[in-house]
Structure 1
Amino acid sequence: MEALKDLRSEIDSLDRELIQLFAKRLELVSQVGKVKHQHGLPIYAPEREIAMLQARRLEAEKAGISADLIEDVLRRFYARILCQ
């Protein structure tokens, strides 16, 4: 059972890292929004979203991760940001 405890501990650690990465990503997206606003650019760029999602789907597939899962996570980020 010690092996199970160790594995769960490692998962917990990775979850904390993911949260920090999500926070950093949200901060960077916020900065992008400010730069776009300063330069009179539209906040939402559908062509950028499509290209980014396609690229991330490919990266996910190469890593053996569900492309749909990654797209779902990223779309949730977009939805959250666009609501702010």
Structure 2
Amino acid sequence: MAATTVNLARQVLTLLIEKYEAPADTTETTSFELLGFDSLVLVEVSVDLKKKYSVEIGDDELAEADNAAKTAELLTTKGVTV
């Protein structure tokens, strides 16, 4: 994973832990399903990501990504850099 993607994955993971109460031992590869994130939570996460990175990301895209690492890769493909 490139440095930008690694940094984005950490930022997404921090958001999930701090705002959505994912367990502290959650990793970048822990699936959203394992965390118990339903479609409503993914909609909320997508809104937060849009606000933070000024990029459209659908809850369906998040469901397909299924974890912080793949969400970071998705953000990178949409032109997000950190």
Which range, TM-score by smaller chain?
0.3 to 0.5
By relative contact order (CA 8 Å, sep 6+), the higher-ranking structure is: 2
When you count helix as a share of all residues, which structure comes out higher? 1
TM-score (norm 2): 0.36
TM-score (norm 1): 0.36
